[in-house]
């Protein structure tokens, strides 16, 4: 797979570039990321081979959202297994389905150990992403994937621990309230079985890298 060509297909939407740059600056300060190129396309210049190890691991605050079956689910309910987490939305045309398809392949690559990992999708579009919508979405990729939704305020509060940014962007030619997209950060997060953030991956990070890190957590 040519990662350079693929990345150009999934560059962050221009409407969210400023917010994305803010998040990248925060990561630079907190996690010691290498300096990134300035400008509207800054987020697209991240080296897809690079991951950010959180050292020491960051203990995450407890949170509760609604799962795809309409039941409350907390971060603590996921403890005992590593978690691979992504924030997105069901109307996302490219990055979100590409990421969840990668999650599916990561699970397959783990073989029998795939069931020892929680693969979690958190919606950043609570206005449209009902539990039913999230359920239909995640089950396209794997019926065992966990889908969570809540109000945008709830998700913003949770997202602070993950340096998550998201913002509505009007879709061209659709002035109605429902005719919008959502600009959002595109990182994937690896959480250990104790509920601490261990690794942050950029969009299109090699799945082999994720598999290796997960296997390390499963055997430690």
- Residue the block writes with tokens 């907390």: 74
**In whole angstroms, what is the distance from residue 167 CA to residue 185 CA?**
10
Domain borders along the chain are 50-219
Signed CA dihedral, 9, 10, 14, 17: sign only:
negative
User: pLDDT (tens digit, 9 = 90+) per residue, 100-113?
Assistant: 999 999 999 999 99
Alpha-carbon Rg for the chain, nearest whole angstrom, is: 16
The CATH number of domain 50-219 is 3.40.30.10: yes
Helix (H, G, I), strand (E, B) or coil at 68: coil
Q: Report the 10 Å Cβ neighbour count for 122.
A: 26
pLDDT band at 50 (very low <50, low <70, confident <90, very high): confident
Instruction: Convert the pLDDT of each residue in 116-160 to its tens digit.
Output: 999 999 999 999 999 999 999 999 999 999 999 999 999 999 998
pLDDT bracket for residue 64 (50, 70, 90): very high
């Amino acid at each position: 797979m040519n990662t350079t060509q693929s990345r150009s297909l999934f560059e962050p939407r221009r409407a969210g570039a400023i917010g994305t740059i803010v998040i990248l600056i925060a990561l630079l300060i907190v996690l010691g990321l290498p300096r990134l190129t300035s400008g509207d396309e800054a987020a697209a210049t991240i080296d897809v081979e690079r991951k950010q190890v959180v050292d020491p691991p960051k203990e995450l605050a407890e949170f509760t959202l609604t799962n795809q079956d309409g039941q409350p689910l907390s971060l603590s309910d996921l403890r005992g297994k590593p978690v691979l987490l992504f924030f997105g939305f069901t109307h996302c045309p490219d990055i979100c389905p590409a990421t969840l398809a990668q999650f599916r392949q990561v699970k397959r690559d783990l073989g029998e150990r795939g069931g020892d990992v929680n693969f979690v999708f958190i919606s950043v579009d609570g206005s449209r992403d009902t539990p039913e919508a999230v359920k239909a979405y995640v089950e396209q990729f794997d019926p065992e994937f966990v889908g969570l939704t809540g109000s945008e305020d709830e998700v913003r509060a949770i997202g602070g621990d993950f340096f998550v940014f998201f913002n509505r962007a009007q879709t061209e030619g659709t002035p109605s309230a429902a005719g919008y997209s959502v600009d959002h950060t595109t990182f994937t997060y690896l959480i250990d079985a104790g509920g601490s953030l261990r690794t942050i991956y950029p969009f299109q990070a090699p799945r082999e890298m994720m598999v290796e890190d997960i296997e390390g957590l499963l055997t430690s």
